[in-house]
Amino acid sequence: MKYELCFTCVSTDGERETMNYNVWFSYDPDQYGNGTMMICKKKDSRTEYYDIRYNRDYHKNEQMQFILNWVLNTWSGERGSWRATEVSIKEVADE
């Protein structure tokens, strides 16, 4: 399953930036842990790979919740980081 992720980041100065990603998960049974990588492709930009093989919060049946938690934890607004708001996650058909 693939997902479209869109959210707005707000800086401590009030600057706003909209982030758009395509997100999917890759499973390899020969890998350690849960064998899963999260792949995020920012629209018109690079592809980022996140190793979540040992992440105990990841459950295959709750991928949208995992993505939401990842966004809210990564862009939390703590210690000067940008804060995520207006998060939207939609399932899209596999290509």
DSSP 57: T
What are the pLDDT digits (tens) for 10-64? 998 889 999 999 999 999 989 889 999 999 998 778 899 999 999 999 999 999 9
The tokens describing 87, both together, are 């998060």
Give the integer Cα–Cα distance in Å for 47 and 49: 7
Q: Give the global pTM.
A: 0.89
Closest CA to 76 of 66, 64, 86, 84: 84
Q: Please identify which residue in the block is written with the tokens 């849960």.
A: 34
What are 58-84's pLDDT values in tens digits?
999 999 999 999 999 999 988 878 999
Contact present, 1 and 24 (Cβ < 8 Å): yes
